[in-house]
Amino acid sequence: MEAAPTMAATLDLARQNPNAPMIDAVVDFVAPKPQLVGQDRADLLNILEDIGVPEKQRRMRARQLWNWLYVRGVHDYDAMTNIAKDVRTALADAYSITRPEIVAEQISQDGTAKWLMRFPARDATEQPVDVETVYIPESDRGTLCVSSQVGCTLTCTFCHTGTQKLVRNLTADEVLAQVLVARDRLGDWPDQETPPGMTAPRDGGRAVSNVVMMGMGEPLYNFDHVKKALLIASDGEGVSMSKRRITLSTSGVVPEITRCGDEIGVGLAISLHAVRDELRNELVPLNKKYPIAELLEACRTYPGASNARRITFEYVMLKGVNDSLADAKELVRLLKGIPAKINLIPFNPWPGTAYECSDWDQIERFADVVNRAGYASPVRTPRGRDILAACGQLKSESERIPAWKKRAMSAALAGEAPDPYDAAHLDAERLAAQQATAENG
């Protein structure tokens, strides 16, 4: 297979204005190979066919690849010793199995780990993107908090991620890679041990025993990629995460909730946070589209929900906002008839927020009302606050390239002049950059 193409793009306004200099540096882009990680069984069979593996061998080779990728955690083709060298070479020429770059790793005083992972640009009009993934070890479990998007569209006012505009959805391989990287760093593959400096459950079981889709982004707005990643992660012959130990958290994308139960079959968590529409409209603006009554009706009919498999309702405790005893009583009333547990989350502050965490005494009084009504209402112990890894604190510095600039870059790659509208934006950006340089100089 030929080497990946290198493309150079220069955003040049000279075609329309001879006096205008070229703006933006030349962009050299090497198209990345597609990832083999994130491919399901059917995909692997198709890939093996494409590289010329005889039909009689494909199912065997697919099983071998599945085992190496998702049971052994291998990310080097040379380690796949029971696969013929010519097959490995053909795969390596066409597909990557490398992990994303770990830009930063932080370990909290309480043992919580946070990784900032970088995924490469997919084409010449994109930039690499960063996402955060958090690992929370406890005595009997290890929970991995996985991101589904770079940024978020929902702008929930109490959430740090909501201050970062959506850059793009993560692909299935990028969602799954977060699980694989965490297992790498925790020594969670066969014949490996937890490395020094990392904390894992003390019960001798798996380091990553639970996965929660509660990181950056709204997973139900990236349904297909999240579904594919979670079905691979829960495959009993691969990563083998129990679906009972996978929870998907949504702010309330009502049309996709039933699909989640039918097609993925994992546990459901609802970011509720308010018991009145007028307040939830402010805290979770998606409520204006799918109000509380519609959301709770979708929960009542969620496939698989039962007293043995309850829906988790997440409720962040905001001082003087949603923490009154009247709020607690209304919460109990709203959830009547739903197999539910209520997770009370002390607000975790982040730079620039106007909210404060409820006083601990008030949280306990709120919990007592809920408990007396017969609902389990654990108060989530804040973890990783010192490294901004706690609930609602995740954010990366990735920014979305404006559509006009992507169009102009595409035009430059094709050797065409930019659209006049886009050219005007480019000219304004160039002038702003010149002014900033002059002021700083």
CATH of the domain at 121: 3.20.20.70
Of the residues 314, 391, 397, 416, only one is catalytic, namely 391
What confidence category does residue 5 fall into, taking pLDDT thresholds of 50, 70 and 90? very low
Query: Is the same domain home to 277 and 417?
Result: no
Digit-coded pLDDT (tens) for 103-115: 999 888 888 899 9
What pLDDT is recorded for position 303? 94
Digit-coded pLDDT (tens) for 111-153: 889 999 999 988 877 888 989 899 999 888 999 999 999 988 8
Q: 341 versus 422: which is more confidently predicted?
A: 341
200 within some domain: yes
Indicate if the pLDDT at residue 422 is higher than 60: no
- What does the CA dihedral 251, 180, 164, 435 come to, rounded to 10 degrees? -170
Q: Are 54 and 193 in contact (CB under 8 A)?
A: no
Q: Kindly give, in sequence order, each residue whose CB lies less than 8 Å from that of residue 243, ignoring residues fewer than 6 positions away.
A: 234, 264, 265, 266, 267
Q: 101 versus 351: which is more confidently predicted?
A: 101
Query: Is the same domain home to 117 and 210?
Result: yes
Query: Is the same domain home to 65 and 206?
Result: no
What pLDDT is recorded for position 280? 97
What pLDDT is recorded for position 348? 82
**132 labelled catalytic:** yes
Query: Is the same domain home to 110 and 183?
Result: yes
- Domain coverage including residue 20: 6-31+402-440
What pLDDT is recorded for position 124? 78
pTM (predicted TM-score): 0.82
Q: What is the mean pLDDT of residues 413-425?
A: 56
Q: Kindly give, in sequence order, each residue whose CB lies less than 8 Å from that of residue 231, ignoring residues fewer than 6 positions away.
A: 40, 264
What pLDDT is recorded for position 7? 38
Of the residues 132, 174, 218, 314, only one is catalytic, namely 132
What pLDDT is recorded for position 438? 52
DSSP string, 6-55: EEEEEEE-TTT-TTSPEEEEEEEEEPPPPBSTT--HHHHHHHHHHTT--H
Taking every pair of Cα atoms in the chain, the longest distance, rounded to a whole number of angstroms, is 76
- The total number of structural domains in the chain stands at 3
What confidence category does residue 42 fall into, taking pLDDT thresholds of 50, 70 and 90? very high
What pLDDT is recorded for position 125? 76
Query: Is the same domain home to 287 and 247?
Result: yes
Query: Is the same domain home to 111 and 135?
Result: yes
Query: Is the same domain home to 113 and 88?
Result: no
Last residue of some domain: 94, 113, 133? 94
Give CA–CA dist 108/127, Å, rounded: 29
393 within some domain: no
Digit-coded pLDDT (tens) for 155-167: 888 887 667 788 8
Comparing 107-116, 233-242, 408-417, which segment has the lowest mean pLDDT? 408-417
Digit-coded pLDDT (tens) for 187-228: 999 988 888 888 777 666 789 999 999 988 999 999 999 999
What pLDDT is recorded for position 15? 37
Query: Is the same domain home to 319 and 269?
Result: yes
Query: Is the same domain home to 319 and 277?
Result: yes
84 within some domain: yes
What pLDDT is recorded for position 138? 87
What confidence category does residue 436 fall into, taking pLDDT thresholds of 50, 70 and 90? low
Hey, how many other C-beta atoms are within 10 angstroms of the C-beta on 400? 17
**Edge-to-edge, what's the strand order for the sheet holding 311-317?**
101-107, 113-119, 129-137, 142-145, 210-213, 246-250, 267-271, 311-317, 340-346
What confidence category does residue 376 fall into, taking pLDDT thresholds of 50, 70 and 90? confident
What pLDDT is recorded for position 336? 94
Work out the angle between the directed axes of helices 55-70 and 41-50 (0-180°, nearest 10): 130
Digit-coded pLDDT (tens) for 71-92: 999 999 999 999 999 999 999 9
Side chain identity, residue 363:
I
What confidence category does residue 387 fall into, taking pLDDT thresholds of 50, 70 and 90? low
What pLDDT is recorded for position 312? 96
Phi and psi at 97, nearest 5°, equal -125, 20
Side chain identity, residue 271:
S
Name the pairing type of β-strands 113-119 and 168-169. Answer: unpaired
What pLDDT is recorded for position 27? 52
395 within some domain: no
Comparing 183-192, 260-269, 315-324, 424-433, which segment has the lowest mean pLDDT? 424-433
Q: 180 versus 397: which is more confidently predicted?
A: 180
How is the chain split among helix, strand and coil, in percent rounded to 5?
A: 35, 20, 45
What pLDDT is recorded for position 256? 97
The three-class DSSP label of residue 362 is helix
What pLDDT is recorded for position 23? 41
Last residue of some domain: 387, 415, 432? 387
As a whole number, the mean pLDDT across the chain is 84
What confidence category does residue 352 fall into, taking pLDDT thresholds of 50, 70 and 90? confident
Digit-coded pLDDT (tens) for 281-300: 999 999 999 999 999 999 99
What pLDDT is recorded for position 10? 37
Query: Is the same domain home to 374 and 317?
Result: yes
What pLDDT is recorded for position 194? 84
434 within some domain: yes
Q: Kindly give, in sequence order, each residue whose CB lies less than 8 Å from that of residue 269, ignoring residues fewer than 6 positions away.
A: 212, 214, 247, 248, 249, 250, 311, 312, 313, 314, 343
Q: Which of 32-36, 409-413, 417-421 has the highest mean pLDDT?
A: 32-36
**Measured between alpha carbons, how far apart are the two ends of the chain, in Å?**
49
**145 labelled catalytic:** no
Query: Is the same domain home to 18 and 133?
Result: no
What pLDDT is recorded for position 74? 95
Please state the separation of Cα 207 from the chain's center in Å: 20
36 within some domain: no
DSSP string, 229-296: HHHHHT-TTTT---GGGEEEEES--HHHHHHIIIII--EEEEE---SSHHHHHHHSGGGGTS-HHHHH
Q: What is the mean pLDDT of residues 386-409?
A: 51
Query: Is the same domain home to 132 and 24?
Result: no
364 within some domain: yes
117 within some domain: yes
